[in-house]
Chain A
Amino acid sequence: MTFTSSVPVFLLAACLTATTALAQKPAASAAPKPPTNDDCLACHGDPSATGASGRSVAVLPDKFAASIHGQSGIACVDCHADLARSADFPHGEKLAPAACANCHADPAAQYDAGVHAVARRASKQSVAAACKDCHGTHEIRSSKDPDSLTYHLNLPATCGRCHGNADIIRRGRIAIGDVVAQFQDSIHGQALSKSGLMVAPDCKDCHNAHDIKRKNDPGSKVFRTSVPATCGKCHEGIQRRYQHGVHGDALAKGRPDAPVCVTCHSAHQIQRTEGSAWKAHVLRECGTCHPESTRTFRDTFHGQETQLGFMRVATCADCHGAHDIYPKSDARSMVSSARVVETCRKCHPGSSASFAKYDPHADRHSHARNPMLFYASKFMEALLIGVFAFFGIHTALWASRAVKPDVHVKPRRPDAGRRSQE
C-alpha cells in the first residue's frame, strides 16, 4: 500500500484545498494528493479482490476505461467522494453511496420526484431502483451506446431486472406484476425486440426516464387524462381523430368514464388491430361500457358468428369506426343515415338504403325499437311452447299407456280393442 502519509498533514492539505481551489480537481491540489485511479486499481483492479464479507470489490480496469466515466477521465474519488478526504488505506468496508447528483443534478432532481425515490425515502428496506440499478456502476455507458443498459433497445430488459423479477415484484408490492413480460408480447415490445425498430417506444417513452410517476398521480404522463397526449407523441393522427370523436369529446368535458387509449388497447398488452384476436378482444372492451349493444349484437348474425370464432364479419369498429366515433345523429358518423349504406357496402357491395334497414343490434324484446320483430318473436315463442306442450303431454300419456298394456281393462266395444291376437 502506498497511501501511508500521516493523517494531520493530509487533513491540513485538504482544508487548504477546500478554501483556495474548490472548483479545481483534487488531483490538481497540493500534496498529499487524494488517491488516483491507478492507486485504487492497484487493489481493486485485481479480479479476485473481495471485501471482508467476501463480496467482490473488483473494478475491471478495461471495463471502467471503456465506460463513459473512464473515457472522460473521471476519477474514482469524484464519485466516491468520501475517499478523497480519507488517508487511511485500505479504507473501511462501509463507503458513502456514489454521489451521482454532484455532476448530474437535473436527472437526480427528476429522480427525486419520481416513484422510485419516494419509495426509497419511505423505507430503508425498499427495493426500489437507485441510479446504479438502471445505469450500472463502473461500466456505465452513454444511453446512446448500443451496449448501454439504458440504450433504447435494451431498456425493457433493464427495467425487467426488477419489473420482471417475481421476488422484487412481491417485495415491492408492484400491483401490475410482471409488466415487462406483458410488454414484450405487445406490438411495441415486438417492434423493439423482434423488428429492432428504433421508433417503437420503450418504457421511458411513456413513463419518463427519471421522473417516473404513478398513473394516479396527475403529474404522470400516464395519468388518465394525459394518456392521449403521451400516445399522441407518436400516434398524432390517431390522437386528432380521437379528440374529434365522441370519446375524446367526453374526455375533454371531464367525464370520468370517458375511455382513453389504454382503456381499449390496454397499456402494456397492446395488440395488432388487423388480427382476429384483436377483433374478438375489442368486442369485450366495447362491451364493458356498452353492455346492451354487445348483448343485442350477440343476438344477431354478426355477433353469433364472431362468438363461434369466425371474425371475418362486422364487429364494432367495422361499422362505428375506431377513433373517430360519432353519435348516430352526427352526419360524420359511419352509421348516420347519410353514410350507413356506404358503411354496409364495405362488406356487402350490393347494399342499398333498403338493405341498410337491417338492424345489427335488433332487440326482439324491445317493442319500441323493433316492433315487428317483437311480435314475430312472441308468435314464435307461442308456437314453440304450444307445440312442445301439446306433444309433450301427448307423448307422456302415450308412453305411460303403452308401457302398461290394458290387460285387465275391458274394451268398451268388444270388437274395438283386441282384434287379431291369432
Chain B
Amino acid sequence: MDDTRATPVEPTAYQRFDRYNRLLHGVLMFSFLGLAFTGMPLLFSDAAWAVRLAGLFGGGRSAGIVHRTFAVLLIACFVLHVWRLMHRLYVKKDLEVLWGPESMTPQPRDVVEMLAHLRWFLRLGPQPRFDHFTYWEKFDYWAVFWGMGIIGGSGLVLWFPEFFSKLLPGSWFNIALLVHGEEGLLAVGFIFTIHFFNSHLRPDKFPMDPVIFTGRVSHHELMEERPAEYERLQRAHRLDEIEVGPAPGWVPTLAKFVALVAVTFGLVMVGLIVYAVLFARL
C-alpha cells in the first residue's frame, strides 16, 4: 500500500473483483456463517454446546427454519453466479470463461505451479509466477461449487422428502443426511481454517486481505503476487482497462470489521467442532 503512495505515477489500484462478485461473496459469507451455526448443532447434537447454540436460535425447530432461510439465500447466490457465467459464455461469447489464465478451469499449469509452490515451501526452488487465479484459489472455488451441488442437492432432498420420494427410494435420504452433514463439516472446516489461512491469516496477508471487499489490488501486489498476470496484461496493453481509483474510505474500514467478525465466528466454530470431536465423540 505504501509503495503505491510513494510512486504516485503508478496507478492507484487494479480491479480484481467487480461489484457483482463482491456482493455475491458478501452474501455467500453471511449465509455460509448462518448455515454453519445452525447446521453444526444438528451434526454435533450430542455435544452440550450444540443444545445451547441451537437454543440461541430458539431451539431445534427454529434453528431449522433459520437454516433453510440461509439456504435459500445461498442457493440464490449460486444461481446468480451460474447465470452470469452462462451469460458471459453464451451471450458475450467469452470463451475465456472455459480456458486460459482468467478461467477457473483447472489446467496443466496449476499442477506445475502447485509442485513449484511445494518446492518453494521446502526451499528447493523459487516462488512460482502465478497468473490471475492460483491453484489454491481454484480449489477453493471448486470446493464451494461442488459443495453447493452436493450440500444444496442433499439439503433439498431432506427439506422435501415426500416430493423426492417419488424420484428416489427413501434409503437415499439416509445417504443425503450423511453426505449433507459430512460435506457441511468439510466445507466449514475448510473455509474456517484453510481458506482463512490461505487468503487472510498467512504471514504476508495477516490479519486479512481486503481484496474481496474492496475489489482492488495495488500495483505492487499485482506485480509481486501475480507476476505472470502483470506481464501478460502489460504485453497486451490491457493494464489500463482494469485500472481503478482508490476505494471509498469506508470500504476498507467496513471490510476489516466484517472480516474480523467472520474470522472470529469461524474460528469459534472450528474450536467447538474440535472440542466435540475430541471430547464428546471419543
Contact = CB atoms under 8 A, between A and B. Distances in A.
10 smallest CB-CB distances across A and B, nearest first, come from A310-B60, A350-B162, A358-B170, A357-B170, A416-B126, A307-B45, A355-B165, A397-B121, A308-B60, A380-B182
A403 B61 contact: no
Interface stretch (A103-111, A174-182, A220-228, A371-379): A371-379
Residue of A307, A383, A411 with highest tally of chain B CB at under 10 A: A307
Contact of B174 (A373, A392, A398, A401): A373
Contacts of A308: 41-42, 45, 50-51, 54, 59-60, 63
A380 B129 contact: no
A359 interface: yes
B165 A352 contact: yes
B204 A402 contact: yes
B113 to A, nearest CB: 13
B149 interface: no
A40 B43 CA distance: 79
Contact of B46 (A298, A356, A358, A376): A298
A417 B127 contact: yes
Nearest to A300: B177
A404 B220 CA distance: 21
A356 B170 contact: yes
A357 B186 contact: no
A380 B179 CA distance: 7
10 contacts: A307-B51, A308-B42, A309-B51, A373-B171, A373-B178, A387-B186, A387-B190, A391-B194, A406-B123, A419-B227
Interface of A: 298, 300-301, 303-305, 307-310, 312, 348-352, 354-359, 362, 364, 370, 372-373, 376-377, 380-381, 383-384, 387-388, 391-392, 394-395, 397-403, 406, 409, 411-413, 416-417, 419-420, 422
B178 A364 contact: yes
Contact of B162 (A300, A305, A355, A370): A355
Nearest to A402: B203
Contacts of A307: 45-46, 50-51
Interface string B173-200: 1110111001101100110011001100
Contacts of A304: 42-43, 45
Given A309-B55, A355-B165, 12 more contacts: A307-B46, A308-B42, A308-B60, A309-B59, A310-B54, A351-B162, A351-B165, A355-B161, A357-B171, A383-B182, A387-B143, A416-B126
Nearest to A397: B121
Contacts of A417: 126-127
Q: How large is the interface on B (under 10, 10 to 19, 20 to 34, 35 or more residues)?
A: 35 or more
Contacts of A416: 126-127, 129
A358 B60 contact: no
Contacts of A406: 123
A394 B45 CA distance: 31
B126 A412 contact: yes
Nearest to B177: A301
Contacts of A381: 182
A383 B186 contact: yes
Contacts of A357: 169-171
B220 A420 contact: yes
Residue of B161, B174, B198 with highest tally of chain A CB at under 10 A: B174
A361 B281 CA distance: 19
Contacts of A370: 171, 174
B185 A358 contact: no
A309 B54 contact: yes
